[in-house]
């Protein structure tokens, strides 16, 4: 027996428009600049939780700094493949490199040498690329902690740190450290345990292009 078509929205532009309108109606966006509002809307869209707007920590110039860096061709350094996979390449304004070093040769041995995780060891391989770059961390708290340690030791500074590690051990603490002591780096972070690769890549997409799905 055939069934009638299920009643759901099929038009992509209408779906995006309704989604973003729902976020604007339900989330508390008043404290954000227009540039940051676009970032926060896309973060919420990626996770479906409007309440994360109340947990966003950021530096005043973060959205502009990140967007400007990308427009000038800065690379995006990601802590895991899933963050890199979620970045919409056609939105990148300058055919920017997306770099993930987690699975590079030598990372496991380096992790043993430094007594830390592979994610932390992989951050050390960012040194040739990180000055003026956009960093997107959406998995490992140790990656964010170690990046901050390396900056303390004289590591080049990125233009913007997108801090969205997730989990029960170190995620909240690493983002609290970033927010309290950003090392003169612009940053956007989601306080607490929540985070993840989808949110980190959504932040990159927002810095790259804003909300082009609903642009006239």
What mean pLDDT do residues 140-150 have? 98
pTM, rounded to two decimals: 0.95
Q: Is the pLDDT of residue 135 over 90?
A: yes
Q: Is the pLDDT of residue 122 over 80?
A: yes
Q: What pLDDT, on the 0 to 100 scale, is given for residue 213? A: 79
pLDDT of residue 92: 97
Query: Where are the extended beta strands (E) located within 44-114?
Result: 56-58, 76-78, 98-100
Greatest CA separation for the chain: 69
Residues with Cβ within 8 Å of residue 26, at least 6 apart in sequence: 50
Q: Is 207 a residue whose pLDDT tops 60?
A: yes
Q: Are strands 56-58 and 186-190 parallel, antiparallel or unpaired?
A: antiparallel
In percent, the amount of the chain with pLDDT more than 90 equals: 94
pLDDT of the residue at 214: 74
Q: Is 134 helix (H, G, I), strand (E, B) or coil?
A: strand
Helix H or strand E segment including 3? none
CB atoms within 10 A of CB 123: 29
- Average predicted confidence (pLDDT) for the chain: 95
Write the pLDDT tens digit of every residue in 150-198.
Answer: 999 999 999 999 999 999 999 999 999 999 999 999 999 999 999 999 9
55-214 has CATH 3.30.70.20 classification: no
Instruction: Report, as residue numbers or ranges, the catalytic residues.
Output: 45
Whether residue 216 is predicted with pLDDT greater than 60 in this model: the reply is no
Kindly state the average pLDDT of the residues 79-105: 97
The confidence band for 1, taking pLDDT boundaries of 50, 70 and 90, is confident
**Token pair belonging to 118:** 């592979």
């Amino acid at each position: 027996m055939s069934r009638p078509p299920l009643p759901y929205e099929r038009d992509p532009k209408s779906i995006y428009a309704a989604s973003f309108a729902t976020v604007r109606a339900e989330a508390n966006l008043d404290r954000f600049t227009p540039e940051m509002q676009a970032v926060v809307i896309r973060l919420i869209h990626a996770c479906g939780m409007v309440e994360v707007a109340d947990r966003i920590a950021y530096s005043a110039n973060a959205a502009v700094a990140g967007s400007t860096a990308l427009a000038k061709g800065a690379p995006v350094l990601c802590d895991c493949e899933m963050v890199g996979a979620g970045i919409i390449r056609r939105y990148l304004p300058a055919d920017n490199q997306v770099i993930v070093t987690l699975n590079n040769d030598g990372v496991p041995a380096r992790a043993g040498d430094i007594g830390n995780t592979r994610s932390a060891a992989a951050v050390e391989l960012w040194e040739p690329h990180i000055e003026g770059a956009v960093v997107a961390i959406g998995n490992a708290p140790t990656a964010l902690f170690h990046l901050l340690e390396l900056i303390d030791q004289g590591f080049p500074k990125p233009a913007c740190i997108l801090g969205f590690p997730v989990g029960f051990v170190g995620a909240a603490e690493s983002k609290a450290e970033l927010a309290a002591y950003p090392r003169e780096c612009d940053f956007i972070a989601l306080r607490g345990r929540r985070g993840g690769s989808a949110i980190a890549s959504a932040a990159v997409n927002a810095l790259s292009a804003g909300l082009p799905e609903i642009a006239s």
